[in-house]
Amino acid sequence: MTHTLTGAPVVLTAGAASIVIDTTGPGLPRVLHWGGRVTSAPSVEQSRDVLGAVLLPAQCDGWMGRPGVSGHRDGGGSHLRLTVAAPPAVHVDPAGGGGITVDAMDDLAGIDVRSELHLSPEGLLRVRHTVCNTGKGTWTADGVLALLPVPAEAAEILDTTGHWGRERFPQRVQFGQSTVVHENRRGRTGFDSPPLFVAGTPGFGFRHGEVWGVHVGWSGNHLHLAQRLHDADAVLGGGELLTAGEVRLAPGGTYRTPWVYFAYSPNGLDGLSDITHAWMRGRRTHPSTERPLTLNVWEAVYFDHDLAKLKALADKAAAIGVERYVLDDGWFLGRRDDTSGLGDWHVDPDVWPEGLHPLARHVREAGIEFGLWVEPEMINPRSKLAEEHPDWILAAPGRLPAEQRSQHVLDIARPEAFAHILERLDALVTEYELTYLKWDHNRDLVEAVHDGHAGVHEQTLAAYRLIDELKARHPGLEIESCSSGGSRVDLGILARTDRVWASDMTDGLERQHIQRWVGQLIPPELVGAHVSAPVNHQMGRATRLRLRTVTALFGHAGIEWDITTCTEEELAELADWVAAYRRLRSTLHTGRTVRVDHADESAHLYGIVSPDRSHAVFAYAQLATSASTAPVRLRLPGLDPQAEYSVALLPEIPAPDWRRGEPWKLDVVRSGETLAGFGLAGPVLAPADAYVLELRRI
């Protein structure tokens, strides 16, 4: 039901959240409330006593913080005074949520703005703005932000930091009368970019506290912002980070922001994950089939592509139940190491005289899908493409940026470069009947210049178009977003890809942290999680196979290991784990994520509970030595409190041992209420050990 309103403020409610918008004034609507549910709107008179936040705040509204829209026309007209052009269109969804569209203008400045807010039935609020230049001459956009108010109770900020191999580690700061900004200028999402930038009541955790989260769904430069002034409600939001002259609108030109996603929970961080996971699973583009267990051969062979070895890997993979095989870097022209070949997307005849057909055929005959690694947005100076088209490098004329990983960025916003890469990818997918691409992106966009101006914005849009067009030509093709591991993980790239590689770090302990926090935003079926070698290739640490399999179970599972070197015992343990993954994935990839606010910081306790709460899988991982030697109390929330559950160790993964060497056995029945309130006694584990519990409602 869609209609226009000119009376009382609009209330949209879904899940545990409401947003109240005052549309009664002459200026832009004000957001009076975004947070817990409300049953009715305040009166017009009452709403005048509420500060709230104007939809696109500006100095004319009394807002002296960062403006919602900033830009200029040859240095002038930088302060907008937007007024509503017509009564806003409001849509209320009977299933919960709805939307509002507001058209506003500043005739003197020559700027029109359309603002769209959509509240999904799950409670996820999406906001974007479209700016149109209706005046004479060029208008340069400096920034357009989506901002919503948060109350005084939101006094703590949760952000993340990170780098290659250590993505998204949490950090907290007090949020007083201050501005907290997380900026990214790397031209891709970034290792440190927060899955959700969160403001909340002090001390909030996974299962407690009020929290307000925001995520900018954009794979280029962006920012997240929290700002509190002494004379106004605080705001939380973000948007694309535009550099000087990057978006210049000719008369009639428009700029549309990326979607910015907001979520509120009265029950901690898991409540935010409930919303984002449910919304993502409801998308038309969300993978609808079971997530195949994958073998990626990168850490098995690196650039040493030997057909006999690669066939042997496929044979071992088939024997233990692997369902997808991915040939990684090293198959194309001149690619014997990472210093050459990027851009020359032809199979190297010196290594593959018959093309990839012998391997692809062997893999498929073993009953396994075949996929391939590519890095289409990059180019090595040592490549035929760079020799023939040096002007296709994303750079200012005569000023190449510094090389990173012996490579530059290919300017795919240039039509000829775009067409060339699309033709090559299309030809490869067609010839080899590929069902999967691991799409990598291994460097920052430094001094990115396209057609004489800053180029990150157009490069990002071109990457989106490239993926969209390739998938339109090949329905059913799945694409993984990889960027030096986890440096392109966001809802912009995930609108068109089917999973993310959370990190190049495959160490089981480090991955416990990384997957914990990328899962704040993204459900586990979209997060690649692989079992690696006993001695990890990135950091040289040796860990138990049990820890590595437990860690990888809670994602889109796979193997990153030369399994031709495994002992018979290791292969048997891997085969049992593969069987467990295949048996459990219907729960693991549809259920609610539960992360326990466990008292011992040396361990993680977490799980997945099926939608009907009849089945659950919980993991306990001992990350380091504990200060306590007493048995561990395992409190398992998220179950039906009135139901009885059988609790047992997952049979396919070997049971842990007591630290003192006594075997631990478990086979009990407890109510959901008891499991959440009192819990179970668990074993004291040595560091870098883990186990899995399976619960079934009786």
Determine the 3-state secondary structure of 285 from DSSP. Answer: coil
Catalytic residue among 61, 270, 490, 504: 504
CB 331 within 8 A of CB 375: no
End-to-end CA distance of the chain: 43
Q: Which long-range contacts (CB under 8 A, 24 or more apart) does 301-304 make?
A: 301/330, 301/562, 302/329, 302/330, 303/329, 303/330, 303/335, 303/336, 303/337, 303/338, 304/330
Cα–Cα distance between 301 and 400 in angstroms, integer?
33
Q: Active site residue: 61, 274, 329, 440, which one?
A: 440
The answer to whether the CB of 547 falls within 8 A of the CB of 519 is no
4: three-class secondary structure by DSSP: strand
Give the DSSP H or E segment for 71: strand 69-72
- For the question of residue 504 being annotated catalytic, the response is yes
Residue with tokens 């407690």: 208
Give me the torsion for CA of 570, 571, 572, 573, rounded to 10°.
50
Q: Is 337 a catalytic residue?
A: no
Measure the CA–CA gap between 290 and 294, rounded to whole angstroms.
Answer: 12
One-letter amino acid for residue 309 of the chain: K
Q: What tokens does 473 get?
A: 């030509």
Question: Is 493:189 a contact under the CB 8 Å cutoff?
Answer: yes
Q: Cα torsion at 344, 349, 352, 353 (round to 10°)?
A: 160
Q: Taking a C-beta distance cutoff of 8 angstroms, is the pair 666, 620 a contact?
A: no
Rounded (to 5) percent helix, strand, coil in the chain = 20, 35, 45
Give the separation between CA 423 and CA 417, rounded to whole angstroms.
Answer: 10
Q: Are 373 and 295 in contact (CB under 8 A)?
A: no
Closest by CA to 222, choosing from 254, 250, 282, 181, is 181
Catalytic residues: 440, 504
